[in-house]
Amino acid sequence: MRLSVFARTARDQRRSMVAWAIGLVLLVGMYVGVYPSVKGSGSSFTKLIDQMPKTFRALFTTGGGVDFTTPAGYLNTELLTFMGPMLVLVYAIGAGSALAGEEDRGTLDLLLANPIGRARVLLEKFAALAAGVAVLMTALWLALLVEGSAAGMDVPLAHAAAAVLHLGLLGVEFGALALLVGALTGRLALARAVPAGVAVAAYLVNGFASIVSWLGPIRASSPFYQYIGRDPLRTGLSPTAVLVSVLSIAVLVGLATASFRRRDVLT
């Protein structure tokens, strides 16, 4: 092959990657552009949300709670708790399901007909996924710093980096799950639907654990808790959360590799 699987996948995704990066930058710009008009009445917004039902508040609460009075609290509530993760997961699950998509379209046979091992194919697909998420997180981090500074938001460089690193690991984890489902089944619909369903369940577990007692013991198993449960935008990097996420990703990729090597793909 003239190009490695990684290089070919990255080349095929370059236009969509630019579009996703621009979209994230514009999203950050929209939220930080509103902040100057919000910060003066942030306590009023917080009181308004505090009057809403607990079940509603739980879905938008991070480790530090709902808070519009500080830059970190505002960004957590408006960007990093729901909208940011949703967009990153849409990208990552789509990238992780690309292998199943090729099998669905019947083009994977052509790739595997080359002198290249299945493990290498899968691992390079995963590397392309992880690299794509890294590019998006770099764009998000720069947007938080540059646009946030222009809007008068004091976001510490290291804390912003910690937040986007945790978010990136969340995306890669669900992308790896999509890769695993695709490697097991070869079906694009399942490779997208299963991770999306698990993501919704994990989000609800993390959110409702503060008000539903029996969810408390399992909250730490939610990838969303590892992402934002320790509030990295306020407190910085959590080595424990990073380790748990990295180990989870490694297990998912290992299972995907083993499954893809054993399954009969050439049908």
pLDDT tens column, 92-113:
999 999 999 998 888 888 888 7
pLDDT digits (tens, 9 = 90+) for 223-239: 999 999 888 998 999 99
Other CB atoms within a 10 A radius of the CB of residue 139 amount to 20
Q: What is the pLDDT of residues 205-215, one digit of tens each?
A: 988 887 888 88
In this predicted structure, which of 33-37, 64-68, 72-76, 182-186 has the lowest mean pLDDT?
64-68
pLDDT given at position 97: 94
Q: Which two tokens stand for residue 120?
A: 């290498």
pTM: 0.91
The whole-number pLDDT of residue 180 equals 97
> Please, which pLDDT band fits residue 4 given cuts at 50, 70 and 90?
confident
The H or E element that residue 55 is part of is helix 54-58
Distances (CA, A) of 186 to 148, 183, 191, 255: 43, 6, 8, 14
Q: Which residues of 157-183 are buried (b: 16+ CB within 10 A; e: fewer)?
A: eebbbbbbbbbbbbbbbbbbbbbbbbb
Can you give the pLDDT at residue 119? 92
Reply yes or no on whether the pLDDT at 88 is more than 90: yes
Q: Which residue has the tokens 């993390």?
A: 206
Dist. CA 166–CA 168, nearest whole Å = 5
Among the residue ranges 206-210, 217-221, 257-261, the one predicted with the least confidence is 206-210
pLDDT band at 1 (very low <50, low <70, confident <90, very high): very low
Give the tens place of pLDDT for each residue, 14-58: 888 999 999 999 999 999 988 887 776 655 666 666 666 666 666
Q: Report the alpha-carbon distance of residue 262 to residue 256 in Å, rounded.
A: 10
Q: Which residues neighbour 70 within 8 Å (Cβ) at sequence distance 6 or greater?
A: 42
SS3 content of the chain, % helix, strand, coil (to 5): 80, 0, 20
What is the model's pLDDT at position 110? 80
Q: What is the pLDDT of residue 179?
A: 97
> In this model, does residue 10 exceed pLDDT 70?
yes
Q: Would you place residue 200 in the very low, low, confident or very high pLDDT band (cuts 50, 70, 90)?
A: very high
Across the range 76-92, mean pLDDT stands at: 92
- Taking 50 as the threshold, does the pLDDT of residue 142 lie above it? yes
pLDDT of residue 265: 72
Asked whether the beta carbons of 209 and 219 are under 8 A apart, the reply is: yes
pLDDT in tens, 153-180: 888 999 999 999 999 999 999 999 999 9
Task: Measure the CA–CA gap between 260 and 254, rounded to whole angstroms.
Answer: 10
Average pLDDT, the chain: 88
**Residue 170: per-residue pLDDT:** 98
H helix and E strand count, the chain = 14, 0
pLDDT score at 173: 98
Dmax (CA) of the chain: 64
